[in-house]
């Protein structure tokens, strides 16, 4: 029955334009309703348009360019007796969604429909009335389309070799998008009870770290100052010689507070780079992640900068609450499993160095707070020679536990190598 209803609406909408164009009678009366014809006009996000539905023009078409992954909401506010109905057509003029599947149209009411776009193209928002040709209501309406979410645009699916932050020219080392619901933490982060998400980068060798945060609808913000909430770090990590405290000039911190969460939830993007093209290794720590329910799953879209595409990059999911057992899955370009790990250094991921008893220690005066790896923490290595997004699935083993966790990333920005023809 549903399929028949959809096909009926599609048939009426698809063929209405030529029918009305062919049957339009000539008249010199500019005020006559017979001059009212269906509209085919573009519409932009958050810019309401208004028109009427009459016996002659029972619909209007409003066209808009959308991209894959867009989530839109369309609202049609009716008056003067109109019973509003919205349809969404894909670029092939096939009906994909309609507003009366969840609510019966009511005169002078607001019709609404939400839709997630499956592919790029020009889509059509059809403003019409309940019953279409068989309907009887007429009246005025106002239509508005809002963008609830848009996948970040990436030219040629690449990120830049370099970018500017103020006067600094920064070489891209890593880009990632932490996807979490960011509910209130059960325990505040050490030394900063206002922080909801904290990203710290330690530069080793000559790496001069800088963090850039950006959301979909906000300008980027750059961080290149030492942490304000604590004085330094000491670390003992896989593949690195223990260090009692890196130079403060080589530590930067970016904090998202509870008050800033609405900004961060709009598709937070994090770029880590090194100023003045300085190469070297780096450690990045992301604190404030959590799985509130055993069935919850977080996602991390991550990619290296072009100059770091062949640099080994290891990622650990470290439990920061008791009895939480992390599990990591790395998906490849075809969205199938490339690697997965329960306990780093054991079982099926025994080739991944264990994080057990390894640590990062924050210090403030005589106070310290340590993030210490356990035998149950998970880790994977990013696929080499790949610039495209690599997707990490973060969850608990067998969905049996819940809790908070930190993400530890260790990578490198190598010295740029000239092509052979230029180096000779």
**pLDDT tens column, 394-417:** 999 888 899 999 999 999 999 864
Strand 40-42 versus strand 59-66 pairing type: parallel
Please give the order of strands across the beta sheet that includes 110-116. Answer: 49-53, 139-149, 71-79, 110-116
C-alpha dihedral sign at 118, 124, 126, 132: negative
Extract the tokens encoding 25.
């009678």
pLDDT tens string 172-227: 999 998 876 677 777 888 888 888 889 999 999 999 999 999 887 677 889 998 77
Q: With bands split at pLDDT 50, 70 and 90, how would you rate the model's confidence at 346? A: confident
Taking the C-alpha atoms of residue 233 and residue 306, their distance in angstroms, rounded to an integer, is 29
- The percentage of the chain sitting over the pLDDT mark of 90, rounded to a whole number, equals 45
pLDDT of res. 257: 84
Extract the tokens encoding 242.
């223990």
Q: Among 23-32, 304-313, 319-328, which stretch is predicted with the lowest mean pLDDT?
A: 23-32
Buried b (16+ CB within 10 A) or exposed e, 111-142: bebebebeeeeebbbbbbbbbbeebebbbbbb
pLDDT greater than 70 at residue 38: yes
pLDDT of res. 234: 81
Q: State how far the alpha carbon of 348 is from the alpha carbons of 47, 353, 384, in Å.
A: 54, 12, 20
pLDDT tens string 86-127: 999 999 999 999 999 878 999 999 999 999 999 989 999 999
Q: Among 106-110, 333-337, 339-343, 397-401, which stretch is predicted with the lowest mean pLDDT?
A: 333-337
pLDDT greater than 60 at residue 7: no
How long a stretch of residues is the chain?
A: 424
Q: With bands split at pLDDT 50, 70 and 90, how would you rate the model's confidence at 30? A: very low
Q: Which of 283, 314, 279 is nearest to 171 (CA)?
A: 279
pLDDT of res. 183: 73
pLDDT greater than 70 at residue 374: yes
pLDDT tens string 249-282: 788 999 888 777 776 666 788 999 999 889 999 9
pLDDT greater than 90 at residue 379: yes
Strand 390-396 versus strand 298-304 pairing type: antiparallel
Q: In this structure, are residues 140 and 51 in contact, taking their beta carbons and an 8 Å threshold?
A: yes
Distance of CA 247 to the CA centre of its chain: 34
Q: State how far the alpha carbon of 346 is from the alpha carbons of 97, 163, 378, in Å.
A: 49, 40, 10
Q: Which domains does the chain have, with CATH numbers?
A: 2-149 (2.60.120.380), 155-413 (no CATH)
pLDDT of res. 394: 92
What average pLDDT does this structure show over 61-81? 93
pLDDT greater than 80 at residue 325: yes
Residue 255 phi, psi dihedral angles, 5° rounding = -125, 135
């Amino acid at each position: 029955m549903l399929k028949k209803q959809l096909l009926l609406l599609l048939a009426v909408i698809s063929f209405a334009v030529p029918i009305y164009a062919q049957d339009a009678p000539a008249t010199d009366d500019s005020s006559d309703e017979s001059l009212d014809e269906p509209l085919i006009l573009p519409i932009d996000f958050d810019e309401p348009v208004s028109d009427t539905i009459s016996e002659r023009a029972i619909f209007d078409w409003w066209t808009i360019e959308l991209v894959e992954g867009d989530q839109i909401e369309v609202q049609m506010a009716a008056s003067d007796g109109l019973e509003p109905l919205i349809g969404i057509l894909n670029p092939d003029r096939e009906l994909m969604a309609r507003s009366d599947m969840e609510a019966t149209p009511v005169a002078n009411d607001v019709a609404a429909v939400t839709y997630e776009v499956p592919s790029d193209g020009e889509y059509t928002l059809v403003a019409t009335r309940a019953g279409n040709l068989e309907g009887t209501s007429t009246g005025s309406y106002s239509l508005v389309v809002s963008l609830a979410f848009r996948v970040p645009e990436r030219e040629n699916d690449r990120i830049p070799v370099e970018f500017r932050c103020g006067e600094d020219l920064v070489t891209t080392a890593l880009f990632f998008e932490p996807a979490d619901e960011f509910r209130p933490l059960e325990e505040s982060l050490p030394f900063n009870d206002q922080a909801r998400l904290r990203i710290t980068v330690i530069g080793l060798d000559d790496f001069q770290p800088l963090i850039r945060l950006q959301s979909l609808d906000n300008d980027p913000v750059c961080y290149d100052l030492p942490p304000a909430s604590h004085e330094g770090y000491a670390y003992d990590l896989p593949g690195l010689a223990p260090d009692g405290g890196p130079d403060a000039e080589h530590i930067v911190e970016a904090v998202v507070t509870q008050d800033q969460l609405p900004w961060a939830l709009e598709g937070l993007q994090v770029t880590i780079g090194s100023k003045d093209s300085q190469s070297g290794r780096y450690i990045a720590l992301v604190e404030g992640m959590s799985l509130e329910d055993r069935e919850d799953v977080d996602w991390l879209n991550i990619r290296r900068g072009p100059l770091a595409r062949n640099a080994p990059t290891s990622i650990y999911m470290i439990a920061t609450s008791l009895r939480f057992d992390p599990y990591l899955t790395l998906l490849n370009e075809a969205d199938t499993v490339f690697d997965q790990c329960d306990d780093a250094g054991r079982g099926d991921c025994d080739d991944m160095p264990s994080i057990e008893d390894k640590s990062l220690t924050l210090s403030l005066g005589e106070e310290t707070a340590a993030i210490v790896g356990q035998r149950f923490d998970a880790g994977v290595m990013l696929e080499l020679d790949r610039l495209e997004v690599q997707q990490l699935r973060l969850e608990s083993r067998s969905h049996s536990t819940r809790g908070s966790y930190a993400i530890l990333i260790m990578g490198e920005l190598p010295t740029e190598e000239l092509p052979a023809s230029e180096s000779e």
